[in-house]
Amino acid sequence: MKSSFQRSLAFCAILFASAIAAPPVLATSKETIAVSVGNLLQEGHYTRQKLNEGVSRKFLQTYLELLDYSHLFFTQQDVDTLNAKHGNSIASDVLLGTLKPAYEIYDLYARRVDERVAKIKELLKQPTDFKSDATIELSRQKSPWPKDEAEADQLWRGRIANELLQEHLSEHPIEPAPQLVERRYDRLARTVHEEDRDEQVKLFLDALAQTYDPHSEYLSKADMKNFSINMGLSLVGIGAMLRTEDGYAKIESLVPGGPAQVDGRLKVGDRISAVAQGSAEYVDVREMRLDKVVEMIRGKKGTHVRLLVIPSDATDPSRRKNVELVRDEIKLKDQEARADIIIKKDENGDPIKLGWLTLPSFYADMDRHQKSTTRDVLALLKRLKKENIAGLVVDLRKNGGGSLEEALSLTGLFLKSGPIVQTKDYNGSIRISSDPDSGIAYSGPLVILTSRQSASASEIFAAALQDYGRAVIVGDKNTFGKGTVQTILPIGRFASLLGSHTDEDGALKLTIQKFYRVAGGSTQLHGVASDIVLPSLSDLPEFGEGALKNCLPYDEVPKAKYTKWSDTHSLFVDQLKRRSEERAKNDPEFHYVMEDIDRLRHKIDYNRISLNEDVRKKELQDDKLRKELRSKERLARNQEEPRIYRLTLDSVDKPNLQLIMYPGKLAEAKKSGVPQKVVPEAAPDADSDLIAGVGGGDDTKEPAIDPERDETLNILNDLADLSRGPKTASVRP
């Protein structure tokens, strides 16, 4: 694949050079960068879409939405005026090095923000009625822009009333609500005016790249150096990736092994409303620039940071939780593959030994070749086989992808030689990548556990094992659905063809290929469908590739030639599915999940929230009572826990392994009253109310309640049992 990237990059360079054989004389580096990005996109992107009028209109829409995400500052009159002036020409302006539209549109946005903030200040001086029956939209991302200023004023009256009510009902008030909201919008106006021309160009070119597909992106020098929204790449921090949404810093993902992931209270989708250093007062961060929020959250190792967070599952945004974390070095060891040996009882009460392999990502050290996912997993598999496990689960629930080479070689540990994945270039040229090793490291019963967060390389791995009939796929209905390949092209390499360039030029992350399964279908949009679906709060289409704007379509290529796993190794999917559905139907934890899914689905579909204080208080009280009831029901259930031994790369060759769970441990914890965490997909409303393991060490990282984990083990147990074949009974004479 590396050579394919190099060929694509060279091809882009040839096309780009031919397209600019007679370049105009350009005034500044920003204009040169714009020309370079425009040409690279239309000549190097997988779609080879020219910067025509159709792309121009999409580009303008994308730029306006990057500026005004919630469709609140511009009016439809503004949008119509901008479309009439720039709709058909803004893309061709980029090819001419003309950035005037970028500045003009941004300046209009800044004026609209100033005008709105002035009106908000007047609005805050008026009394607010919290007894009305009015409601407002929770999300306006898909709503039209207000048709005129009068409609915008009406929308903002409801929005400000909601923000005041949120702060009024908050369990952790920072200061009087009107002052807090006024300072918030003062900060928004300041932030808008702090964006210099370089930052405006970055946003403008980013919008152009995202017009082609959601994974293409213009990266400024600062992005390349720091990836400021990705705190997980910092040496010291909390290990979270943030993005801006509707004025909030929103948790996009958590770094495995980082302080936030280990603590367990922060969840993907949570929104940070305030940050405090140690015991100092909270500072409201809504409408604050993301890099400023990141700077406040980062700090020295061992220091404390407090976050005031709106939970992702909160039906009312006034619900907050206080999360205190200790900043720490993000240790790569915590992101390595690890395994558990689980001894549980089968349906006959006999002990059975199962393996559980957790794979956070497909990691690889490209430069020094010191780290390899495949090499690490192979070491773990050797020990698991030595322990005579009856079956294996590979947990990919939070695996967002990584190295394609590692995905190929890791798949090969479970298969004989054969094709693993197909990739197609813009011109329809198909390349088949095969298992590099004909050996098999593990041939026993295999289950792959996935979620909507399983993406890219994870989908290649799961799809191949499913197409070969080698493994049963369990989890959400589908994985994420990212079936595209990106490469990084330094702009300076191409800008130099137009004249001088500097390190300020940045780079373009460009989609150049698509992935396809060996069976011919793409993982794009469709992802990998589970053979057995388990209820999960993450299993919503809003969390997948299809929810992203301008995503590439699904298509197929011819099926590759491959031989399925031997017919003697049946997966018994129909039988496993029937048994699993019966257990899930009687599992109270899955009942909780289904209730939460119904509430979340209703919240998303209804997309409105009441401005009545009594209604909001009742909703908050209902949430609290539900948490308390579930906590009591959990404590009342006497469910025997399995015996679990932890296997890491450091302990893989040691005779004795760490015992992290054993029968009776939860009962001990109940008596001691030690609270513990729960996996987010299980019951996100009761993090602080669940009883789990006692003591420190690695056992604090594991959720006590994880119905997906428990049912996946049951499925593996069934698969191992069915794979052993029919049993016979004899009678002694």
Q: Which helix (H) or strand (E) holds 220?
A: none
Q: Would residue 559 show up in a list of annotated catalytic residues for this protein? A: no
| 408, 457 Cβ separation under 8 angstroms | no
Would the CA dihedral through 152, 157, 161, 163 be positive or negative? Answer: positive
Residues whose CB falls within 8 Å of the CB of residue 210, separated by 6 or more in sequence, listed in order: 62, 66, 216, 217, 549, 550
Question: One of 456, 458, 522, 536 is an active-site residue; which one?
Answer: 456
Among the listed residues 59, 88, 336, the one whose alpha carbon sits nearest the alpha carbon of residue 206? 59
Matching residue, tokens 């289950």: 447
Among the listed residues 488, 504, 494, 489, the one whose alpha carbon sits nearest the alpha carbon of residue 23? 494
Alpha helices in 482-610 (DSSP H): 491-495, 573-585, 588-606
Give burial (CB, 10 Å; 0-12/13-18/19+) of 387.
middle
Both structure tokens of 401: 């992808």
Angle at 547 between CA 243 and CA 532, to 5 degrees: 110
Q: How many other C-beta atoms are found inside a 10 Å radius of the C-beta of residue 178?
A: 18
> What type of residue is 93?
D
Question: One of 58, 482, 665, 701 is an active-site residue; which one?
Answer: 482
Residues whose CB falls within 8 Å of the CB of residue 490, separated by 6 or more in sequence, listed in order: 505, 507
Please state the φ and ψ torsions of residue 81, each to the nearest 5 degrees. -65, -45
Among the listed residues 530, 535, 472, 529, the one whose alpha carbon sits nearest the alpha carbon of residue 718? 472
Among the listed residues 399, 376, 459, the one whose alpha carbon sits nearest the alpha carbon of residue 255? 399
Both structure tokens of 44: 């190097």
| 624, 689 Cβ separation under 8 angstroms | no
Give burial (CB, 10 Å; 0-12/13-18/19+) of 198.
middle
3-state secondary structure of 621: helix
| 534, 711 Cβ separation under 8 angstroms | yes
Question: One of 93, 263, 467, 687 is an active-site residue; which one?
Answer: 467
| 213, 551 Cβ separation under 8 angstroms | yes
Matching residue, tokens 């993902």: 253
> What type of residue is 537?
L
Q: Would residue 456 show up in a list of annotated catalytic residues for this protein? A: yes
Matching residue, tokens 């990106």: 486
Pairing assessment for the beta strands 643-647 and 658-661 based on DSSP bridges: antiparallel
CB half-sphere exposure, 680, CA atoms < 13 A: 23
Q: Would residue 467 show up in a list of annotated catalytic residues for this protein? A: yes
Q: How many other C-beta atoms are found inside a 10 Å radius of the C-beta of residue 729?
A: 4
Torsion of CA 168, 183, 190, 33, to 10 degrees: -20
Residues whose CB falls within 8 Å of the CB of residue 513, separated by 6 or more in sequence, listed in order: 4, 8, 46, 423, 424, 425, 484, 485
| 669, 641 Cβ separation under 8 angstroms | no
Both structure tokens of 329: 């070095």
> What type of residue is 459?
E
Q: Which helix (H) or strand (E) holds 630?
A: helix 613-636
* Catalytic residue list: 456, 467, 482
